[in-house]
Structure formats: structure tokens, C-alpha cells
């Protein structure tokens, strides 16, 4: 796979190309396509629109803008990263990581230290990028964040989202984005830790090979908690929509309970076709 060329997008023609790319990434709802004039207004007022090109073809983009967050010490500025899309067929090729790394560099030059964005917590690919590779953390669960969505990837399910925090000047993030990043953790790395599995999903069904969420999960105890999600939620949704809804509602209860009890999603493990969040009580982690 050729290395993508990352470029800041500034012209109306470049932003019109992003309109077209959105239609390929999120098909089925023309009304949800962000128009070029919105991108232009944002980038002329401190926003960021960057594109990834392979052989002069636009294959991905990331879009964000300045925002305000309210803290006990008063309002403070941040960068809100609102959209990132990769052309189907180019995913899992490092383009998303390259776009986020460019965003990290540019936003730091703007003098900001905090980037937030949302993603579906049941999408393993996104979780692995955001939590494992980029070093973002999460303790905020947003119930039906975008209401009823109409595009082909999200229609029919509650639009629950994680809102992640990317503290871009921390050692944790700088190490993940360095030329010698921390290797991804494996389950064996937790073998000697005080680790609590919250639940064991029901065995795969005869038809479909999809595991079911259990009826209940264990009380939250200890410093580290491991919670499993479907390894390919998009495929599960296509195969058994009712089961996908069951996972949405079950995982909502798990994460809202965990975050309410002071746990933070600090890592994500993908191993042997299984996907696990690592929830850590307080701000400590196994390693940066």
C-alpha cells in the first residue's frame, strides 16, 4: 500500500471533493453530507480540514473546529474533531492514523492541548485506532448522541457514542505517535494483574456464529476490568439486526455503570478474533 500524502485542504474545489467522498463513505442519505460552504466557513475561522491522497486520489479526510469545554475552573478552548472518513477498500491501511497524526501536529501548533471526538464504542476498528494506537481515553458515554441517523451505516440503531479525550501533549499520546510506539497489549499482559472480567458472552449460535450478550454482568470491583464486545459489529448488524440492538442496549448499561463508578477506558485489545476494552479505575494505567 503506497504511503498516503496528507494535505491541508483550503480551496472550494478540494472541499467539493470531500463532499463526494462522504457519499462513498456514508451512503444512503444525501441530507447528511456536509456541504463545501460549511467546510470553507470552518477553516476560515480556525477549523481544520485535511485530506489523504494516494496517487493524487482523495481517499480520506479529517475535519474539526475549535470548541469550548466547561470545567470547574471555567471555560477553556479545545479542538472538536467532528468527522473522519476513509474510502471503502482503503481502510485498515494506516490512512486514519496518518490523518490523526497530522491533526495532532497542527492542533498543537494552534496552542491547544485537548481534542475530543465521538465514535461508536461497538466498532472494534475504531476502538483499536482511537484507544490503542492514538492513546485517547474515555469516561463519557453519550446516549443517542445524534438522534435517528439515516445513512447506510447507522440507520435503525440508537446513535450511542463514546466521547474520547485526546490529551495531545501527554507522554502517553506522544509515545503512541512516536517512531517507536508502544506495542499493542495482549491478553497475556494482564495475566498477573488484578483483572476482573465483567461477563462471558454466550456461546456462538448454531446459525450465524455470533455471540449473545449475557443477561447480567458482575459487580464492578478492582482496579482493572475487562469487557468484551462483538469483534465485527457491522457484520453482525447485517446478519442479525435484533442481536445488534441487544448488544447496543447491553453495552450501554455496562459502560454507563462503569463510567459512573469512576472507571476509564484506557486500552483496547484485539486478539484471536475477540475484542476487549480495558477499563481502569481512576487515572492509573498498566503503562503509558
Highest average pLDDT, of 116-120, 141-145, 201-205, comes from 116-120
Q: What was the pLDDT predicted at 245?
A: 93
Residue 130, classified by CB atoms within 10 Å of its CB into exposed (0-12), middle (13-18) or buried (19+), is buried
Which is higher by pLDDT, 83 or 144? 83
Q: Percent of the chain, pLDDT > 70?
A: 92
Q: What was the pLDDT predicted at 267?
A: 94
284 pLDDT more than 60? no
Identify the helix (H) or strand (E) that includes residue 86.
Answer: strand 74-86
Residue 229, classified by CB atoms within 10 Å of its CB into exposed (0-12), middle (13-18) or buried (19+), is buried
Q: What was the pLDDT predicted at 207?
A: 46
**Mean pLDDT rounded to a whole number for the chain:** 89
- Whole-angstrom Cα distance, residue 57 to residue 188? 41
pLDDT tens column, 166-217: 999 999 999 999 988 888 888 888 776 777 778 878 765 544 678 899 888 9
SS3 at position 209: coil
SS3 at position 97: helix
> Which sequence spans correspond to the domains of the chain?
5-176, 187-281
Quick one: angle between helices 36-43 and 12-25, nearest 10? 120
Supply 25's cell numbers: 463513505
- Please give the CATH number for the structural domain made up of 5-176: 3.40.630.30
Backbone torsions φ then ψ of 11, nearest 5 degrees: -95, 155
Q: What was the pLDDT predicted at 180?
A: 85
pLDDT tens column, 89-109: 888 789 999 999 999 999 999
Q: What was the pLDDT predicted at 99?
A: 97
What's the mean pLDDT in 102-121?
Answer: 97
Q: What was the pLDDT predicted at 286?
A: 47
Amino acid at each position: 500500500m503506497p504511503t498516503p500524502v496528507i494535505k491541508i485542504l483550503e480551496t472550494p474545489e478540494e472541499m467539493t471533493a470531500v463532499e463526494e467522498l462522504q457519499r462513498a463513505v456514508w451512503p444512503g442519505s444525501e441530507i447528511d453530507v456536509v456541504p463545501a460552504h460549511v467546510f470553507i466557513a470552518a477553516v476560515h475561522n480556525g477549523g481544520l480540514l485535511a485530506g489523504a491522497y494516494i496517487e493524487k486520489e482523495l481517499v480520506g479526510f479529517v475535519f474539526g473546529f475549535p470548541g469550548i469545554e466547561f470545567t470547574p475552573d471555567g471555560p477553556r478552548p479545545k479542538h472538536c474533531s467532528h468527522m473522519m472518513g476513509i474510502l471503502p477498500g482503503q481502510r485498515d491501511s494506516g490512512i486514519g492514523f496518518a490523518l490523526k497524526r497530522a491533526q495532532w501536529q497542527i492542533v498543537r501548533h494552534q496552542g491547544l492541548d485537548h481534542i475530543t471526538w465521538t465514535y461508536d464504542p461497538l466498532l472494534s476498528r475504531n476502538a483499536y485506532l482511537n484507544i490503542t494506537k492514538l492513546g485517547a481515553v474515555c469516561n463519557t458515554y453519550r446516549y443517542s448522541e445524534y438522534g435517528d441517523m439515516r445513512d447506510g451505516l447507522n440507520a435503525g440503531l440508537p446513535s450511542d457514542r463514546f466521547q474520547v479525550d485526546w490529551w495531545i501533549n501527554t507522554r502517553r499520546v506522544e509515545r503512541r505517535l512516536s517512531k517507536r510506539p508502544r506495542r499493542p497489549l495482549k491478553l497475556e499482559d494482564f495475566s498477573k494483574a488484578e483483572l476482573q472480567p465483567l461477563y462471558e458472552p454466550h456461546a456462538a449460535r448454531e446459525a450465524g456464529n455470533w455471540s449473545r450478550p449475557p443477561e447480567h454482568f458482575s459487580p464492578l470491583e478492582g482496579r482493572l476490568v475487562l469487557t468484551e464486545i462483538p469483534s465485527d459489529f457491522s457484520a453482525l448488524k447485517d446478519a442479525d439486526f435484533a442481536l445488534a440492538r441487544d448488544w447496543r442496549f447491553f453495552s450501554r448499561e455496562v459502560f454507563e455503570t462503569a463510567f459512573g463508578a469512576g472507571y476509564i477506558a484506557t486500552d483496547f485489545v484485539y486478539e484471536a478474533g475477540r475484542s476487549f476494552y480495558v477499563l481502569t479505575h481512576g487515572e492509573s494505567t498498566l503503562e503509558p
